[in-house]
Every structure is written in structure tokens, then in C-alpha cells.
Amino acid sequence: MEPVKRGLDKVLQWASVILFALLVVVVVWQVFTRQVLDSPSAWTEEMARYTFVWVGLFATALVFSERGHIAVDFVVKKLSPSRQKAVAVFVQLAIIFFAVVVLVYGGIRAASGAWNQSLSALPTQVGVMYLAMPICGAMITFYAIYHLQAVLRGAEEAIEHDEDPQVV
């Protein structure tokens, strides 16, 4: 599972960098054509929206790879190690449930429902934008399963502890 995770991490890193660079170029072109040429480009708004959605979802999946998502865990840190492990297992199962039901299933339904809707400025369909949901949902599901089995094996801590805890 580790080689698959490392490979998927690399793909997501590169995809996020490329999509973010594309987003910057498209938005700069949009501003340039509007402000300097006084003739706004018709396709840039839709392209920026699509790129933003894709980079946002790909970066979200990458954050799940690193267990870097926001966690309010000050109460959980006060629990015993066995209860912390139980909470960590519950959290990963909840992530899997959400990713499968909302992102994968819901994303497939949204993409198929919007597949025949054409865009006015780009030669593609609205459903293409929604494809990011099931793709990223599948990746988040993989990462949640990876972390779930790592927590159960004891290869990962149940709750990430701060390197330099602040005194309150």
C-alpha cells in the first residue's frame, strides 16, 4: 500500500502545481485582456472556475494523504490512548463514508446529470467539472483506508501530537 500512496502523492503534487500555475496564467490573462486590451477574453472566467475547482479538490486529497486536515482534538488528547485510537478509527470511517457517499456517488450523479450541458465559452460540458468529485473522493477513500489500517496496526499515532505544545 505504501508504494501506491507514494505514487499517488507524487501525482497529486504535480497535478496541484500544474493546475495552480494554469489558474494563475488564466487569471493574469483575464485581467490583462480586461484592463490593458479593454476587450475581456470570453473563455477565461469559465476556465478559471474549472481550474479552481479541480486544484481545490486535488489539494484537498493531498492534505488527506498527510493527515493535515483540520482537527479539533483538544478533548480527544485528554482521553486514554485506547480511546484516542477508537476516536481515530471512527474519524477515518466517517471520512470513508463521506467520501464514498457524497464525493464518489454524488459526484457521479452530478457529472452524469450535467454531462449534456454545454458551456458557452469552452468546448466541453459542465459534467467535466463535476468529474473532479468522484476522482478525488476515490483518492480520499484510499488515503482514509491507508490511515485506518496504519492506526489499527500501530504504525501511526491515533492523534497527532504537537511538536512544540503551547502553554495556555
By 3-state DSSP, what share of the chain in percent is helix, strand and coil, each rounded to 5? 70, 0, 30
What residue numbers bound the domain in which 12 lies?
Answer: 2-153
Counting the structural domains of the chain, the total is 1
CA-CA-CA-CA torsion for 110, 16, 122, 33, nearest 10 degrees? 140
**Contact status, residue 148 vs residue 1, Cβ threshold 8 Å:** no
Q: Cβ distance 143 to 64 under 8 Å?
A: yes
CB atoms within 10 A of CB 4: 10
Residue 168 placed within a domain: no
Q: Has residue 116 got a pLDDT over 90? A: no
- The answer to whether residue 98 is domain-embedded is yes
Instruction: For residue 118, report the phi and psi dihedrals to the nearest 5 degrees.
Output: -85, 155
> Does the pLDDT at position 134 exceed 70?
yes
The answer to whether residue 158 sits within a structural domain is no
Q: Convert the pLDDT of each residue in 60-115 to its tens digit.
A: 999 999 888 777 777 888 888 889 889 889 999 999 999 999 999 999 999 888 88
- For the chain, give the number of residues: 168
Q: Is residue 123, in this structure, part of any structural domain at all?
A: yes
Is 160 within the bounds of a domain? no
Cell numbers placing 13 = 503534487
Using an 8 Å Cβ cutoff, are 103 and 133 in contact?
Answer: yes
Q: Is the pLDDT of residue 166 over 80?
A: no
Query: Among 15-29, 40-54, 93-107, 136-150, which stretch is predicted with the lowest mean pLDDT?
Result: 40-54
Residue 166, in any domain of the structure: no
Reported as a pLDDT band with limits 50, 70 and 90, residue 128 is: confident
Q: Is residue 65 part of a domain?
A: yes
Q: Which residues pair with 125 in a beta bridge?
A: 118
Indicate the pTM of the whole model.
0.85
Percent of the chain residues topping a pLDDT of 90? 50
